[in-house]
Amino acid sequence: MPTSSEVPLPPASGAWREGDPPGRRQWHVREKPLALESGGELPGVRLAFETWGRLAPDRSNAVLVLHALTGDSHVAGPAGPGHPTPGWWDGLVGPGRALDTNRFFVVAPNVLGGCQGSTGPSSPRPDGRPWGSSFPFLTQRDQVAAEADWADALGIDRWALVIGGSMGGMRAVEWAVTHPERTGALLLLATTAAASAEQIAWAAVQLHALQGDPHWSGGDYHDAGPGRGPHAGLGLARRLAHITYRSEPELRTRFGRAPQGTEDPWSGGRYQVESYLDHHADKLVRRFDAGSYLTLTQAMNSHDVGRDRGGVRAALRRVTARTLVAAVGSDRLYPPSQQAELAAGISTADHLRLVESPYGHDGFLIEVEQVAALVRELLP
């Protein structure tokens, strides 16, 4: 095992950068500037995406999969050059699986503002320097607008299914409200019609941690050397977030008060649960960008499907897709009451479904078989 001194320092940003292995990524570049909800615009928008299966001649078999905050386009497949982690829903996509690639053309973009090949704070702006602090404020609607342009380029007029959980679910419901004619079926998992005060509060603490890092440099750190990015702030934000992603019973059962190995908490050592959080923090700083974390978190905070549409209820009445809404029973970040509001407000939704899981919010990623059953119900 390498010692801590042998572990290489993380780069200033864990973003995918030009010259890195492309992996399975493809790209779409929008030639025209993208008008933003804030009133500004973003030139040179590029979306990275991955596909599985083949598009049918009548283009009726396309499924859109939308990732959560620190996800990316790599829904399925192993880790490897260009992909630091395995597919985050690998058990859902492939021949004979719920998203059967012998039947469906499954596509997943890296969200606008992300850091794994799509335009975001780590990307070059027109003068060639990283966007950094000058990257504009984005909303979920801006991200869906970029995705709609990308779908046009793929020749997909209507999705057989749009599926997303957490932040991906925010974009999924925006797709169904903004483009009801393009959304054939809809699966919303552990998400909400509008970010709540508590969700914004948790996010605010994370962003304070991030921006308080002395290496944050106002958001312009991307060209700093290894070990000189805002790693402490991003790591602390990840630790805070990860506590909300899991449930108290799971943490209690899994870790209790046990120390980490031979470490003595009374002498500066760690408990197992501390080591667990440290591990997830270290993983994230090596594969993600702090600027994207800020941009996407702010976009999540802005999420309100009813904004300028007469409120949430009026907006949800626009949805025409056959819809399933599922809650994770142990989710304390996106409580089931939020999914109940979605199910009650969408006239084409069946009754609220419950994903049984001890894992909290992350249950929508972990309980793949239960999610697969919901997909098969919508795509028999």
Catalytic: which of 28, 67, 361, 362? 361
Is the distance from CB of 49 to CB of 112 less than 8 angstroms?
no
Catalytic: which of 166, 247, 330, 357? 166
Q: Is 361 a catalytic residue?
A: yes
User: C-alpha 15: how far from its chain's center?
Assistant: 15
Is the distance from CB of 130 to CB of 16 less than 8 angstroms?
no
Cα first-last separation, the chain: 48
Q: How many CB atoms lie within 10 A of CB 223?
A: 12
Interacting residues of 273 by C-beta distance below 8 A, sequence separation 6+: 251, 254, 255
CA distance 37 to 299: 11
What is the β-pairing status of strands 161-165 and 185-189? parallel
Both tokens assigned to 308: 């300028």
Q: Is 118 a catalytic residue?
A: no
Helices (H) and strands (E) in the chain, counts: 11, 10
Q: Give strand pairing partners of 354.
A: 327
Q: Is 347 a catalytic residue?
A: no
Cα maximum dimension of the chain = 67
Catalytic: which of 289, 304, 331, 362? 331
Catalytic residues: 166, 331, 361
